[in-house]
Structure 1
Amino acid sequence: MKNPITHTADMDLWGHNFTQQLDLATQNMGHDISERLRIARVRALESRPAPMRLMRYRTALQTHGSLSSPGDEGLNLWRILASALPLVALVMGLILVQAVQQELTESDIASIDSALLLDDLPPDAYTDPGFLQFLKVQLVQPGRHD
């Protein structure tokens, strides 16, 4: 990035070159046209904001003497902790979801095992494809045991 002082000097040099080119182009025009162009330039210059007024709001003199906008103070301990907090919350949430899923799976397996051990079933019932669905329906609707 360029130094603001040299950048302003470059812009001033460009502006002077541009006005010289405009002056050269308007020398061969009639008096009334060049007068209207001069009045338009004056109005344009009057309507633009003053550069010092813009500079005062956008920049400030820093303690080390440079003219720049107020910078970031850097990452201190509280900013690091505040930025890491969402990540910690996400990881804790994922661990909680995994624990709940595992607990639900284990309780389903345990309830099916207990139903199998308590019931008197013929051996061919274990090979039936609808047997697992039957057990789940029996567990949801506490029913009658014959």
Structure 2
Amino acid sequence: MTPKLLVPFDDSPPAAAALEHALARFADEEITVLYVIDADEPDGSLRQRLLTEAFEERRRTGERTADRVLEGARRYAAGYGVEIATLTAFGRPARRIVEHAEGNGIDRIVMGTHGRSGLSRLLLGSISEAVSQGSSVAVTTVREAGEFEEFSRQDVAHTA
């Protein structure tokens, strides 16, 4: 069976580096590129009901952006002679990435990272770090410069 690879993609330079890494290193695998529109679904609260129109506009704008970004990813992959699947999800990115990986038999996640450290990482958070810590599948993070780091649950078990 062909291994399955997930590449979360947002058209940032680190995401582009991750896609390039995936296409160069894992071209024979089944590659899915995932764009996550960053927002929570309305929860039915009064506040959310009042904001429904704004929410729907944000969703439409996000879907148009996703279409553009994913078309660019398909064209880029075609340059490598690789056909990819593309998918759009809606919600918190780290959560949706992990849910998709675990619910669809993904063997590895390859994603970009800005490589923040210290205070900026604490204040801004890191989607790649949250995915690495929350996922039960292997995660490879790629910096814009092409440096990459592989992480898996087995690594954690050996260091604990």
Structure 1 and Structure 2 fold alike (TM over 0.5): no
TM-score in terms of structure 1 length: 0.26
Larger RCO (CA under 8 A, 6+ residues apart): 2
Structure with more strand by fraction: 2
Structure with more helix by fraction: 1
